[in-house]
């Protein structure tokens, strides 16, 4: 119980700190969204509308910074992240909601596939240490050393331009209206195949190497020797004893990797012209669209926090010593 309470307090404080930084950071930058919006629409906005715009973007000069901070929390609890002036004053929640599923579908699935294959493959290679299976490690490490950008261009050149097996860009065929038909789902799978393969190949080496090294360390532990002496099946020893303990650091790494999804997906979205959060963040930064930037940073922060909470839960389930040490 003490472990759960301590973790809950820690994550509540972390969420508060992240949201507070998210509020103050744009206000510390040079300029403000109102000025950027006026510059973007020169000659189209009357001076009388400036005060209304400042109120709209939460920059009312008649209110102190502390009052603005309080209003920010009130709006957050209402689910109101403001309006994006680079998207025609559309609600930020709506803009992010349109882009987020593409990022989750593309990078989220690719990360899970890469983690699963890398962890299982690394466990097997570590179990067979010293065998020919070790040759896989330098190959995947080399692939991980190739930048996302070049890996994507090579894959597009081979499988799209040369062989013509898969589309080279976009999330679905041009002119298609998104729907739930089998044809549209097939287009999503076809267009998303090359980006997913690129992400998996680029990140697989780290998971394999990390799990392989952890397995080699765990296999020298006494409880592995005892399990083998009892005559347990090698497969059971590998999965239930060795891999179960070796995977614990991998879970924390997986949770932390979710924080870098946007950085990775930005390159993918540029190479494959794929819609998503990464491209949206780039557009918001270039347009100095602070409300949209704040909303995206908030979503990224909360995603990382939730991922770490799930990792801690999995860690506690797989390793009871974590809970016992806190009790």
Whether residue 2 lies inside any domain: the answer is no
Q: Is 250 exposed, middle or buried (0-12, 13-18, 19+ CB in 10 A)?
A: buried
* Structural domain harbouring 222: 107-280
Burial bucket for residue 191 (CB in 10 Å: 0-12, 13-18, 19+): buried
Residue 90 lies in a domain: no
- Kindly tell me if the per-residue pLDDT of 236 is higher than 80: yes
Total count of domains within the chain: 1
Q: Is residue 1 part of a domain?
A: no
**Residues 67-77: tens digit of each pLDDT:** 778 888 888 88
Residue 27 has pLDDT above 80, yes or no: no
Residue 237 domain-assigned? yes
Residue 70 inside a domain? The answer is no
pLDDT 10s digits, 169-224: 777 777 777 777 788 888 888 888 888 888 888 888 888 888 888 888 888 888 88
- The residues with which 91 forms a beta bridge, in sequence order, are 83
pLDDT grade, residue 264 (50/70/90)? low
Q: What is the CATH number of the domain that holds 261?
A: 1.10.3720
Let me know if residue 154 belongs to a domain: yes
Whether 76 maps to a domain, the answer reads no
Q: Does a structural domain hold residue 26?
A: no
- pTM (two decimals): 0.73
């Amino acid at each position: 119980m003490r472990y759960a309470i301590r973790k809950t307090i820690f994550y509540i404080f972390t969420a508060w700190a992240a949201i507070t930084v998210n509020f103050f950071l744009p206000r510390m930058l040079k300029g403000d969204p109102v000025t950027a919006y006026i510059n973007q629409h020169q000659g189209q906005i009357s001076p009388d509308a400036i005060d209304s715009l400042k109120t709209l973007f939460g920059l009312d000069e008649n209110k102190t910074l502390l009052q603005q901070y309080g209003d920010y929390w009130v709006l957050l609890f209402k689910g109101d992240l403001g309006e994006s002036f680079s998207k025609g004053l559309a609600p930020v929640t709506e803009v992010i909601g349109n882009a987020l599923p593409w990022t989750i579908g593309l990078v989220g699935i690719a990360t899970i596939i890469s983690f699963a294959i890398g962890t299982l493959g690394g466990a097997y290679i570590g179990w067979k240490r010293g065998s020919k299976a070790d040759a896989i490690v330098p190959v995947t490490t080399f692939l991980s050393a190739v930048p996302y950008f070049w890996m994507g261009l090579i894959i597009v050149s081979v499988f799209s331009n040369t062989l013509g097996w898969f589309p080279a860009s976009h999330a679905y065929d041009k002119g298609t209206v998104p729907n739930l038909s089998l044809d549209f789902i097939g287009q999503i799978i076809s267009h998303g195949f090359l980006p997913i393969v690129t992400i998996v190949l680029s990140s697989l080496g780290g998971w394999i190497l990390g799990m392989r090294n952890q397995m080699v360390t765990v296999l020298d532990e006494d409880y592995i020797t005892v399990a083998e002496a009892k005559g347990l099946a090698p497969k059971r020893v590998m999965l239930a004893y060795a891999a179960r303990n070796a995977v614990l650091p991998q879970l924390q790494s997986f949770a932390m990797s979710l924080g870098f999804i946007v950085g990775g997906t930005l390159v993918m979205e540029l190479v494959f012209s794929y819609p998503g959060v990464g491209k949206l963040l780039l557009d918001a930064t270039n347009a100095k669209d602070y409300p949209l930037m704040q909303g995206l940073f908030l979503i990224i922060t909360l995603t990382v926090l939730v991922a770490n909470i799930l990792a801690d839960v999995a860690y506690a389930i797989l390793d009871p010593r974590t809970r016992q040490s806190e009790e």
